[in-house]
Amino acid sequence: MATTTSKAAKSSTATPTLTGIGVGRGSAVGSVVKLAAAAKAPVDEPAAADTAAADALVRSSFQYVATNLRVRAAAAQAATAAVLEATSLMAQDPGLIADVERRIKAGTGPATAVDQAVEGFCKILEASGPYLAERVTDLRDVRDRIVAHVLGVPEPGLPELRKPTIVVATDLAPADTASLDLEHVVGIVTELGGPTSHTAIIAAQLDLPCLVRVDGAMTLAEDATIAIDAAHGTVVVDPDDTLREAILSRAKARAALKTATGGAGRTKGGQSVQLLANIGAVEDAERAAKEDVEGVGLFRTEVLFLDAATAPTVADQVTAYTKVFKAFGDRKVVVRTLDAGADKPLAFAPSEEEENPALGVRGLRMDRRFPQLLDDQLEAIAQAAKATTAKVWVMAPMVSTVHEARAFVQRVRSHGLPVAGMMVEVPAAALRARHMMDIVDFASIGTNDLTQYAMATDRMAGELAELLDPWQPAVLDLIAAAGAAGKAVGKPVGVCGEAARDPLLALVLVGLGITSLSMAPAGVPAVRFALSRTDIETCEAMAAAARNAEDAAAGRAAVEKLVDPEVLLAL
């Protein structure tokens, strides 16, 4: 229930006022700042009484927004600056302004005229290819700003922040999350979204405590003090001193963990569990390489491809991969070959419209249509590996059959790369792991996709978030099958999904036979600490308890009972 506790009613035992799904285990106290939603043109906006005045208003709004964007561009880094510069040109586009004025003259209300003119251009841009999709987003952002100005309401986005802030929003667009002021933002609360939505992934990457699917989040009062706890999924308005201190000291303990333990991942008994980083862009690699990690468990190469209008040349790819491998010295780097498809379209490898892209031609399946892409990529990886000292392993996404696994391994070897593996995301691959592991050198479980497929729940279906929980016993059964298959033949089976960064679940995974855990680098210290306090027998007992549980929540509760209390305290 969304009740704001009044000062008088404040008792020593604060009750959670809102609940949602926590991302990670963080907690924070801060002031609510709501992300202003974009103002919409009124449905029945009247025609301008004075078209000349309306034209002037629209022109000044365009100019104001364009100037603002140019100012932001001047202050931004090169890559962002180029985008903002192009966006500011859109906000002074003579074709667009002329179109708006035509509509105003024809009797359309000014804000509606802006909206309609922009939508007209969006259609043109959309028609000219998938690579302009981001520009469509930029153009709509310009529209929202101009419409706000025409209507005399605040522009969408966050105001300037001055104190510890918890950002509250209906949902966050990737652009919103990218522009968060990390000096002041201490947490995120959204009404929509899901545990694997963009917001959640970026919050995890930034190690920001985050709650999604919080019913009534937008009813929180602006500037109210709230305490959020991702571990328990609670939002408390006006926390009392006890709760405030508990949360702050937990946040401090988590921060201390980062420096408390270091080095290779080991269980209490000394069994090695590699702790690795997930990376995408080259800059990620350079950042992650400075962290205390044993290498890379997942290098998402599609980042290199997604923005390109033409297939990156072998030479371009060699340059990028060499940078990444070099950054990691002689550590291990697991490269995942291109994982694109209908939901992540490539301009140079057009895919047909699919009703159900998650089940369509994606990942390794793209190879059926564009075999040259994989050969070029393997060639580039091989050249970069030769030029550097990193231990380079290569794996394919979305492998479903023994035949696919065998064909991929042969392709990798034919390029002179020694270690070839597969992702386990499709339940079929987990169920047939015993046969697959005879062929591949290693496997890595992508828990986000494996959960979506095992539970038949779209990763974007926030409403069904509890089904997307990797603690679901059915998902753990599949992981257990893969782990046991790896053990039987003595080959490594890792996990490179978000599940690996949940310290309790990480212990369960190790108990299921998982030999490496790859995650956003910010998650590594807590997992390392949890491992160092738990022996392998306890991990196995935890795995059994979680698989025997009736549901995800019961599994977690059972594992909490088995864990060293100090670990629980630090989580």
Binding stretches for other proteins (CB under 8 A): 82-83, 85-86, 89-90, 93-96, 121, 124-125, 127-129, 131-132, 135, 139, 308-310, 316, 319
> Which of 98/489 has CB closer to other proteins?
98
Q: Identify which of 446, 450, 377, 386 has the alpha carbon closest to the alpha carbon of residue 408.
A: 377
> How many residues comprise the chain?
571
> Which of 128/410 has CB closer to other proteins?
128
Per annotation, catalytic residue among 198, 210, 415, 539: 198
Least CB distance from residue 398 to other proteins, whole Å?
Answer: 28
User: What is the pairing mode between strands 442-445 and 419-424?
Assistant: parallel
Least CB distance from residue 345 to other proteins, whole Å?
Answer: 15
Per annotation, catalytic residue among 149, 210, 415, 496: 496
> Which of 90/519 has CB closer to other proteins?
90
Q: What values do phi and psi take at 272, rounded to 5? A: -75, 135
Q: Identify which of 420, 540, 463, 400 has the alpha carbon closest to the alpha carbon of residue 193.
A: 463
Q: Mark 349-365 as b/e (b = at least 16 C-beta within 10 Å).
A: bebeeeeeebebbbbbb
**C-beta of residue 110 within 8 angstroms of C-beta of residue 150:** yes
**C-beta of residue 232 within 8 angstroms of C-beta of residue 12:** no
Cβ neighbours of 487 (radius 10 Å): 16
Least CB distance from residue 98 to other proteins, whole Å?
Answer: 8
> Which of 131/431 has CB closer to other proteins?
131
Which residues neighbour 316 within 8 Å (Cβ) at sequence distance 6 or greater?
none
> Which of 91/201 has CB closer to other proteins?
91
Q: Identify which of 385, 501, 508 has the alpha carbon closest to the alpha carbon of residue 23.
A: 501
> Which of 15/310 has CB closer to other proteins?
310
> Which of 121/442 has CB closer to other proteins?
121
Which residues neighbour 53 within 8 Å (Cβ) at sequence distance 6 or greater?
none
Can you point out the beta strands (E) in 220-331? 225-229, 234-237, 274-279, 295-300
Least CB distance from residue 479 to other proteins, whole Å?
Answer: 41
Q: What values do phi and psi take at 85, rounded to 5? A: -60, -50
Residue 149 appears among annotated catalytic residues: no
The SS3 of residue 335 is: strand
Edge-first strand order for the sheet with 210-212 is 18-19, 234-237, 225-229, 27-34, 165-169, 185-190, 210-212, 21-23
Query: Whole-angstrom Cα distance, residue 133 to residue 139?
Result: 10
Residue 496 appears among annotated catalytic residues: yes
Query: Where does residue 531 rank: exposed (0-12), middle (13-18), buried (19+ CB within 10 A)?
Result: buried
> Which of 312/483 has CB closer to other proteins?
312
> Which of 59/391 has CB closer to other proteins?
59
Least CB distance from residue 95 to other proteins, whole Å?
Answer: 3
Q: Specify the residue for token string 């301008």.
A: 48
Cβ neighbours of 44 (radius 10 Å): 7
Q: What values do phi and psi take at 235, rounded to 5? A: -125, 120
Query: Where does residue 326 rank: exposed (0-12), middle (13-18), buried (19+ CB within 10 A)?
Result: middle
CA 126 vs CA 64, 121, 129: distances in Å? 26, 8, 6
> Which of 114/139 has CB closer to other proteins?
139
Least CB distance from residue 346 to other proteins, whole Å?
Answer: 13
Q: What values do phi and psi take at 66, rounded to 5? A: -60, -45
The token pair at 357 is: 């892209």
SS (H, E, C) 12-77: CCCCCCEECEEECCCEEEEEEEECECCCCCCCCCCCCCCHHHHHHHHHHHHHHHHHHHHHHHHHCC
Query: Whole-angstrom Cα distance, residue 439 to residue 449?
Result: 22
Side-chain-facing half-sphere of 55: CA atoms under 13 Å: 13
> Which of 54/132 has CB closer to other proteins?
132
Annotated catalytic residues are 198, 496
